[in-house]
Amino acid sequence: MKFVDMSSDVGLQMDVEEFVIAKQRDDLVFYSLEPVAAQIEEYDIIADGVVNSLGTGKPLIDTYPGRERAHYWAGLWTNAFYGFTVAMIFLALVTIILRVRGGM
């Protein structure tokens, strides 16, 4: 809130944002919420980045252009690697069990 003194002898002030003229009173306290609004906008950008990081088709916060599906491909390759690893361990165990039992 920004005030302009209209008449100091009568005590009239005008609110620049609202264009309201009112009498100055000593029992009122006014706070400017502009710093709070700036912080809320900053937190809103961070919250949008967190929400976008949960989806596969949206850009991540502070990344280069063209990396919208980075999570999709990372998940695909990670699952393929772990699937291959678990399958090889399973095949090794089956082979060891068949050799011990004399099945081969």
Q: What is the pLDDT of residues 72-93, one digit of tens each?
A: 888 899 999 999 999 999 999 9
Q: Which residue has the higher pLDDT, 81 or 15?
A: 81
Q: Give CA–CA dist 20/29, Å, rounded.
A: 17
pLDDT class for 34, splitting at 50, 70, 90? Answer: confident
Please list, residue by residue across 58-72, b when 16 or more beta carbons sit within 10 angstroms of its beta carbon and e when fewer do: ebeeeeeeeeeeebe
pLDDT class for 71, splitting at 50, 70, 90? Answer: confident
Reply yes or no on whether the pLDDT at 4 is more than 80.
no
pTM of the model: 0.44
What is the pLDDT, as a whole number, of residue 41?
A: 93
Reply yes or no on whether the pLDDT at 11 is more than 80.
no
What is the pLDDT, as a whole number, of residue 97?
A: 93
What is the number of alpha carbons within 13 Å of residue 63 lying toward its C-beta? 15
Residue 15 gets which letter from DSSP?
A: E
